[in-house]
Each structure stands twice: as structure tokens, then as C-alpha cells.
A and B are shown apart, each in its own frame.
Chain A
Amino acid sequence: MSNRITRRNLFQLAGGSALGMLLSPVPWKLLDDSAIWTQNWSLTPKLPRGPISIRNSHCTLCPGGCGIAARCVGGHPYGLRGTGQHPVNSGFLCAVGLAGHHYAYHPLRIDAPCRFTGREEDSRLIPASLEALLSEMSGSRNSTGGSRPGGSIAILDSRPGRSVSQAYQEMLSRIPGSVYLTPPSNEESTLEEIRQISGVDGWGFDFENTHTILSFGAPLLDGWGTPGRIARRFFHRSPKELILIQAESYRSRTAVQASRWLALRPGTEAVLAMALAQVLLQDGLCPTDIPVRVADWQEFKELAFRLPIAAAAEKTGLPVSAIVEVAHALAGSSSIVLGGCDPGGGPLDRTASRAIACLNILLGNIDQPGGIISRREAPGVGLHSPRGLPLSDVADHSIRWMIIDSAASGYSFPLSLLQHKLMHDKGRIVCLSPYMTPIAAYADYIIPTPAHLESLEEVGTPPGAPASSWGLSAPLLPRTAQSVDPLDLIPKMSEALGFPGGPNTSRQELLKQRAAAIMAARQGTVFHPGKGAAVKVSTRTGTGDFWNLLLEGGCWVDDPTPPRPATRFTMLGKEQPWRERLTARLEQPGPSPDQLVLMPVGWKNATSSGSVPPMISKLFQESDCRSLAGTVLAHPDTAASAGISSEGKVRLQTRSGEMEADLKLDPALMPGVLHGAVGPCVNQAQTLRQAPAEGLLALCPVEEDGSWRITPAQMKKA
């Protein structure tokens, strides 16, 4: 027998070892360990550890002013809820606010000044230093300061009324020809018209005591104002106490919940409002003192009777009986008529807003409980009115530098609006934003500002609130090193533009001054989040305590403002431009039945202009809860009239351009209307390298009256 090791020996050894191995614990242990590995592998993240605490603050994503209670682990927030019993939001947030603590980790977070090389699809993101911005500003001195209307420096302030806003306005006041702009406020459009009609400022909606609401498309139950406040009024009491009549063409979430949905033809809001006025006048439903208080009563009356009710019914697509019933319902109890619009669709045209405001006056709703009540400003608001010029009112091609403070995203507008206001070639946009948004991607300079919950902010009176309020949003997260506080930027920009000056105090000092002013006025109550109750301001002693309470999520709310005695009104304005406008609107022929119109629809805080937390993809992308941007909803007959029988890709065309969209059929929609979903970029796979697209708003040209809600469109199969 030889001692040579043959191949066969090796095979035998291998085979024997394999068999022996099976009898040992080794393979079983391996099997077990591999299964345990699948439970602990690095592909699933490790959970944060640390002491659990709760910190109260305020949400600053929109002007809603909601109190938030953050559950924190090791000081980092991991869950938000509304602060219980909070006087503004009653302990409720909106879906976007619930994930507010995720903004800091946004995949489209900007961490250094930058810009895109162009406005084409293949443009690249390149660095753009703050110094370059300031030196270009300083180089442009000679061409600024011109006398053209609208000015050459503009600041678009997304959340007016803050101390920072005051600093912006102060800076602009030193620069001749500059202009302070505010975004379209859908929510307060009716109040703005009442301000103009009455010549008196400071109004709020008394939803808490009203019985009937007629809403012209205001998304009352879909994020309007402070969602918690509206929900408290609608749902935390028996719903029978409140009648909501929703007039709009789209069966919105509010229309679904409304006691009555008036399927109004697009663009006929003014016609319906004037028809309702006619019924009120005809049936003697106006309070007797109103004719005396209205300066131009006869003119208005004539205007209201200009269009026969039957003609109005035909124009609006509503039966005469519905118009009469609604008018009687409004007159029969305390009521509010409010205009507003879908946040995706931009503002309601001002002619309609004016007619809606007039309707409130006819009903005697002004300064009545359950109507539109007086609201005094919070103390210490400063020299400047929080109201700026609407962007659409600025002269075309007049702005050299457009500075956009776009931290908030509760509104949207077509980028073409910006483009038209900028000077040819020389116009520059500076966007102050923590995240890449379509507006930021459009800008020449993007300066990163602190993300949501990263800096000390203030929250003022929410839109439509019955009383003024003020609170602080104490930072819950540390600021990133590269982010720039807009307050620090103001003196630098002023200097670069040749008008040195600006706030020399820190943000904290500025806010402390405001708190002291409020404290000094000794009015209102302050809410204590720890106790879940409010105490009178006068009973508190130290300003320091007040400040600390505000830092801990406290909120000051003003006492109810006493009604103003017999306000007088001029319905059609001093120069009477409204008579012509309303007449034109009443006599305007209706759209031809075969003409499709495109109406953008969206959701406050999640419109295409702003940024949304990545988790919002659950609503838009991973379910049908909300329509993804680029979706077009239409009645099957509407699609059929365009020769389309099934859902899928379609091409939309308006006079602004052409775009591909996803058609969804819904027999519940009004025939002839295409509802184009305007939504945010929700996908976390989106990276900074690619500029987020504007979406369907690009197809909506801005009309002369500053609206872009209704655009004639064509649809064909893609």
C-alpha cells in the first residue's frame, strides 16, 4: 500500500468532512447566526438613544401659528403634536406640520450658497458665494435707484408682519424706488376688500359664533388659516350648529364636507355674489341701517339688479331656487361670506373679492357676533404696515434685484410672474431658502437660511383670526454652520447697494423688544403650555418671565376688540373703478361649452413653490390620498370630447406652452374643466443636482387682474 495521497483520498476526506460537519453544531449555528444577522444588519438604521423630554414651541411653516409639542430623545425631536389646549390651534396640526422636524434632513437641503447655471433642464448646480452676490450688488449701484415705478430693488416677504419684515421694510425705506412685496393672501382677500370698503383696518372672522358660512372656494377644511381652529369649530361641537355652503367648480375636500355644494362654473364668483345681493335687496333681507351706512347705495343697487336672476343662474350653472335659498339662509342667521381660493390656483380675482365683501356688508355681517369682527393689531408692530404690494401690481420689467425670503411655502405662483417683473438681462433673483424649490432653482443666487425649527422665529396673528396673537418658535434643532440669518444679511446688502444701515441688534434682542412692548400694553392673556391654561397678562410681573414663558412655547392672545361704532362703507370705491369691472364681469359672455379650461388645484403648505417633508410622499406617492403633481383630473365626458377614452399620459396645451400630464378620470367632476394638480416635489430620490420642476403652473399665464386660476386649454393624447 503506497503512502501517496491520491485525488480519491482528497475526495473521501472532503465527503467525510461534509458528512461529519452535518452532525456537528457548526452548520446549525451558522444557520441561526445568519437569521439573526438579517434582524440586525446595517441596512436598517440604529435607533436614537437618550433621555426623553417634551419641548413646546410654534410651527412657522405657514402663518397659521400652531403650537407644537415636540417629543425629544437626547434633545432631538422625533415626534410632533399640537400643544394641548393651545388657544390658536387647539392641539392640532396639519399633515405637513406633523413631520416638521424632518425638514432639517431634507434631501434637497442647501448647505452653501449656490445656483443653477441656467433655466434649462440640463443646467448644473454651481457654487455662488455670498461675496460674489454682494460685489455684484455693489457693482450695480449705478443702475439702481432709478425713478421707474415699482422700483429696482424688491423684497418678496413670504411671512409679513415679523420683526425681520420690519427690518426689511426699514432697509427698503432708505433705498429710493424700492418696493416691499407680499405674496397673495387668499385667506384674507375678503378682509382686505372690507378694509378698502370701510377705510378701517383690522378685521377677523368670527367663525366661533357664526351659523352660516358661504365660501367661494376657500379651502376651509383643507388647511385654511389655522386648521386646528377650523376643525374645532366644525367638528368639536355638533355639526348641526353650522351650515357651510361651498361654491366652487371642483369637488374639493371642503365641498365634500359642506352642507351644500354649489357647483359653480369657473370664473362666475362675482356673478353669483351679485345675484345673491339682488335677492337680498329684492326680498328686503338687508338690515335697515345698511342703506344709510353705504355711501354709494344707489349705484350699488343698480349694479346688483343689472343682470336678471335667471341670467345669473344660467351663467353660474346653478338653479334660480338655489341662489334664492342660499341668500335666505345667509340672511336668516349670523353669517360670513368669504372668498378665497384653492392654494394651487392662486388668488381669486379682485372683482369677485370685492363683490363678496359687498355681500357681507349687505348682510350686516360687519362687526356683528358671528360675522366679521374688529381685530386690533398686536402691540409693538413698528412703523411699517405689514401689508406689501402684491407682486402682480409691480410694473413689468422694473426690478433689478428681487430678494425672495421663501422660508414658507403656503402659497404658489407661476414663475412667469417673477420673470415678467425682472429687468431684461440685468434682473437678478436672490432666494433665501434652506431647501431647493422651483423658485430657488430659478434664482441667480441661493443663500441657505436656517431650516424649519432651527432658528428663533416669531409667530404673529394667523390669517382670519378673531384676535391678535404672538408667540415664539424657539429652535428645537441646532443651526448648521453655513446657514445665514436673513437679519444678518440686511446690513450687508444695504451697504453693498450704497445705503448703509440696518438692524444692529441680534434677532433675540429684536424679539425681546417686541415681547416687552406686548407686556407693556398689559392686555390679553398668555397661554402656559405646561398648565394648559391661559392667564391675564396684567397678573404677570416680570418681562423676563414673560419672555421665558414665550420661549417655552407660551402664546400671547389679545382680548376681544370692542366693535367699532357704525362704520361707513363705499362699496364701489372712491374712484369707482369697481363699477366698470363688475359690470364687465356681469356682462361677460360665458365660456363656450366646448372650450376646456385648466384650473390648478393644490394644497396649502404643499404647493409647487415650497418644500415639503419627505414623509409627505405617503400622501402623494404611496397612496391616492393627494394628487401627485402633474396629474390632471377630468370628467370622462371631458376626456371623450378631446378624443380620449382612458386614463394615462396626455398633452396639455395653453397659450403659455405645452406639457405632458397624467390624466385621471373622475365622473364626479364638472364637465369641461380640467383640474391640474399643482404639487410639491415629494420624492426623496430627487437630488440637488436636478432643478425641481415648476409643474403645471408653467401652463397658467398670469392675467391682467393678477390671477391665473382659469386658463383655456386643449388636451390631446400623448
Chain B
Amino acid sequence: MEQKNKARYGMVVDLDRCTGCGNCMMACAVENNLAPAEKKANDRTGITWMRVYAMNNGKAFPAAETVFVPMACQQCDKETPCIAVCPQNAVDRDPGSGIVGQVPQRCLGCRYCMTACPYHARYFNWSDPSWPAGMEKALNPDVAPRMRGVAEKCNFCHGRWHAARARAAAQGRSEPDPADYIPACVESCPSRAILFGNLDDAGSEVAKACQEGNCFRFLARLDTESKVYYRSAKPWVREMAEGNRMPSGKDGNLS
């Protein structure tokens, strides 16, 4: 199952820069033809490939501190939990980019992948996606809308990856120019909190950044080798994120 990727695209998200503005969520939803919320949708049934969470240090006023955590599919590289469990191979990893993708046309909607994902980065179409009348004209022509009853998730804007590859091929190059392939969330982030690029390209900004001391991965101890790194200069953020969590209190905050 472990295969060597030609490239390994990944991210480094600087939590100290994230203002929680929600641009990444909006840009992602627009780019990837997510439907606006259904009437009854809530934070547990809605589809947000990219989602901004708030993480608190668990202390009370005035010692409380918060960071915003943009969380999309973490693109796990090792024993990718969702790939291993999918009964009909509807989740795959592209050897050209290392991107874990979902094939909605093959998904039968068992949701086993969703229980397997510790990052809650997978979403299910609980109903038929619907857009306000006429808005289908404003859909992105490069991304197929999903149907009811299938799982979906972030794929690092795979439509943009294909387009960048096509442009590279037209120019006679085998690999796309790194500057030509930027996911929507990265592009829209005004505080430039998200670095994106090929982790295997030692010269890339993202490869250098993920080696830095204050870089970490969420739930690193689960050993899924995710390709989305985070960084923060705040020690409490790193300690909490890496899985050294304390018993959760009544309200879910750390005590």
C-alpha cells in the first residue's frame, strides 16, 4: 500500500498568523462547488472541506488564550486511515502528487472512512446538495459537484493541480511550476498563514518551514505522517496539538 510519490504536496499553517477570518473556508467552498447550508444543517452535518476551529488554552478570563486552527484533510502519508478502510477503493493517493483523493462516483456512502479519520476532515452528503435558483451558472466548471450519499473532503484543489499540469505539459514540462499550483485557501489567506508546496523539494519554502523547531503536526503520536504541518511559537499550542492532552473536563475544555 505504501507507494513512493513523485511529489509530496503539503502545507505549513502558521497558527500565530491566523486571525480566524474564514477566508480559507469561503474560498474553498466557492472553488470546490460546495453547496450553501441546507435549512437544517449545523456544524456537525455541514460540509466544510476547510474548517477553522478555535483552540483555547483552557484557562479562564483574563489568562485565556486562543488560536484559530484551520483544518482540512491532513493528507496522511502513512497507513492513511481512510484509504485502508474504504471497501471499494473510492479513496486513493495520487502517486504524482501524494494527494489523497476521494472518488465520489465510486463511493457507496458507508462512512467507514469518516469514523477512521481522527481529524474529522471528511464530510458526508446527508442530502442532495442544492443551490439557490440560477447559482449553478456560478459553479466552478473544473470541479464536479457531488451527489447525495457520498463522502467528500479536501483534495488540495485537485482541479487546480490538473490545470497546472496541463499548462506545464503545454509548455513541454513534466512537472508543474510550484507557483502555478496554489490551492484556493492558500491563495485567499490575507495573513499568508498557509505555506504550500512540495515537501520533497528541499529548496521549497514549505519543506524548509516544516523542519523548523516550532513546527508540529496534530495528533502526531497517531503516526499517520500527515502532510499538513502547523507552527506556533506558543508552547501550549504545540503540547496540546501533539496529543499530550489532559483529561477533558465537563465542558470539553482542558482542566
* CB pair A618 B25 closer than 8 Å: yes
| Minimum CB distance partner of B67 in chain A | A256
Chain B residues with Cβ under 8 A from A45's Cβ? 131, 136, 139, 145
- Complex Cα–Cα for A44 and B23 (A): 26
In the complex, whether B20 has a CB less than 8 A from a CB of chain A is yes
Can you report 23 residue pairs joining A to B where beta carbons are below 8 Å apart? Answer: A41-B147, A43-B147, A48-B137, A48-B139, A50-B141, A94-B190, A102-B135, A104-B138, A106-B132, A253-B19, A253-B21, A614-B132, A614-B135, A618-B25, A619-B25, A621-B42, A622-B47, A623-B51, A624-B53, A624-B54, A682-B37, A683-B37, A685-B38
Binds B, one of A391-399, A591-599, A666-674: A666-674
Q: A78-B139, A621-B37 are in contact. List 17 more A-B contacts (CB 8 A).
A: A39-B147, A47-B141, A101-B138, A105-B131, A222-B21, A251-B64, A256-B19, A615-B36, A616-B26, A617-B36, A617-B46, A618-B29, A621-B41, A622-B45, A623-B46, A625-B20, A684-B36
Closest beta carbon of chain B to A689's beta carbon, Å? 14
Q: Given contacts A38-B147, A95-B25, is CB(A263)–CB(B62) below 8 Å?
A: yes
Q: What residues of chain B lie closer than 8 Å to A623, measured between beta carbons?
A: 25, 43, 46, 48, 51-52
| Known A-B contacts A81-B187, A618-B48, A622-B46; A668 and B60 likewise in contact (beta carbons under 8 Å) | yes
CA distance A107 to B130 in the complex (A): 12
State the Cβ distance, A106 to closest chain B Cβ, in Å.
7
- Alpha-carbon distance A114/B241, docked complex (angstroms): 53
A618 touches B26 (CB 8 A): yes
Which of A38, A73, A256 is close to B141, meaning CB atoms less than 8 Å apart? A73
Complexed CA–CA distance, A254 and B48 (Å): 24
Q: B47 to chain A: which residues have CB within 8 Å?
A: 622
Taking Cβ atoms with an 8 Å cutoff, the residues of A that contact B are 38-39, 41, 43-50, 52, 73, 76-81, 92-96, 98-99, 101-102, 104-107, 221-223, 227-228, 231, 234-236, 239, 251, 253-254, 256-257, 261, 263, 614-619, 621-626, 635-636, 665, 667-671, 682-685
Enumerate chain A residues within 8 angstroms of B23, measured Cβ to Cβ: 92-95, 98
**A78 and B37 form a contact (CB under 8 A):** no
Measured between alpha carbons, how far is A47 from B144 in the docked complex, in Å?
Answer: 7
The answer to whether A105 touches B20, judged by C-beta atoms less than 8 angstroms apart, is no
B49 nearest CB neighbor, chain A only: A618
B105 interface residue per 8 A CB criterion: yes
B145:A615 contact, CB within 8 angstroms: no
Complex: how many Å from CA A104 to CA B64? 42
The yes or no answer to B224 lying at the interface (CB within 8 A) is: no
Contact, CB under 8 Å: A256 / B37: no
How many angstroms between the C-alpha atoms of A148 and B30 in the bound complex? 51
Question: Which of B16, B20, B130, B146 is the most central at the interface, judged by chain A CB atoms within 10 Å of its CB?
Answer: B20
Q: 7 tightest A-B contacts by CB?
A: A622-B46, A668-B64, A685-B39, A617-B37, A231-B190, A614-B36, A105-B135
B133 close to A (CB within 8 Å): yes
**Contact flag A105-B60 (CB < 8 Å), given A43-B147, A623-B48:** no
Give, as a whole number of angstroms, the nearest-CB distance from B22 to chain A.
4
CB neighbours of A683 from chain B (8 A): 37, 39
Q: Which residues of A contact B26 (CB under 8 A)?
A: 95-96, 98-99, 615-616, 618-619
* B61 lies within 8 A of A670 (CB): yes
Smallest beta-carbon distance B176→chain A, Å: 17
Q: How far is A47 from B129 in the complex, measured between Cα atoms in Å? A: 14
Residue among B43, B56, B131, B188 making CB contact with A668, cutoff 8 Å? B56
User: B192, A236: Cβ atoms under 8 Å?
Assistant: yes
A81 and B46 contacting across the interface, CB-CB below 8 Å: no
Rounded to whole Å, the gap between the CB of B48 and the closest CB of chain A is 5
Given contacts A256-B19, A665-B251, A668-B56, contact A263 B42 (CB under 8 A): no
Chain B 175-196 interface 0/1 with A at a Cβ cutoff of 8 Å (1 = within): 0000000001001101111000
Nearest-neighbor residue (CB-CB) of B187 within chain A: A81
A135 to B193, CA, bound (A): 56
User: Is the beta-carbon distance between A617 and B41 smaller than 8 angstroms?
Assistant: yes
Interface presence of B244 (CB below 8 A): no
Tell whether, in the assembled complex, residue A618 and residue B132 are in contact, meaning their CB atoms are under 8 Å apart: no
In this complex, what residue of B is CB-closest to A76? B137
B148: A residues at CB distance < 8 A: 43
Contacts of A107 in B (CB 8 A): 132-133
Inter-chain contact A227/B138, CB cutoff 8 Å:
no
Q: Using Cβ atoms and an 8 Å threshold, which residues of chain A touch B53? A: 624
What distance in Å separates the Cβ of B144 from its nearest Cβ neighbour in chain A? 7
Give the docked Cα–Cα distance between A568 and B27 (Å): 48
Chain B residues closer than 8 Å to A221, beta-carbon distance = 19, 21, 191
Known A-B contacts A44-B128, A253-B20, A616-B26; A668 and B61 likewise in contact (beta carbons under 8 Å): yes
- B253 at the A/B interface (Cβ < 8 Å)? yes
CB–CB B139/A667 < 8 A: no
Which residues of chain A have C-beta atoms less than 8 A from B184's C-beta? 79
- Tell whether A46 pairs with B105 under 8 Å between CB atoms, given A231-B191, A622-B42, A668-B61: no
The residue of chain B having its C-beta at the shortest distance from the C-beta of A223 within the complex is B21
Interface residue ranges of B100-132 to A (CB < 8 Å): 105, 128-132
- Please name all residues of chain A whose beta carbon is closer than 8 Å to the beta carbon of B145 when the two chains form the complex: 44-45, 47
B43:A671 contact, CB within 8 angstroms: no
B204 interfacial contact with A, CB 8 Å: no
- The answer to whether the Cβ of B6 comes within 8 Å of any Cβ in the partner chain is no
Closest chain-B Cβ to A566's Cβ sits at a distance in Å of 38
CB distance B190 to A667 under 8 Å?
no
- In the complex, the answer to whether B188 meets A98 with C-beta atoms within 8 Å is yes
Q: Check A227/B25 contact, CB under 8 A, given A251-B66, A257-B19.
A: no
A691 → B minimal CB distance (Å):
17
B165 CB-CB contact with A under 8 Å: no
Quick one: closest B residue to A668, CB to CB?
A: B64
B229 within 8 A of A: no
In the complex, per-residue mask of B60-83: 1 if CB is within 8 Å of any chain A CB, else 0? 111011111000000000000000
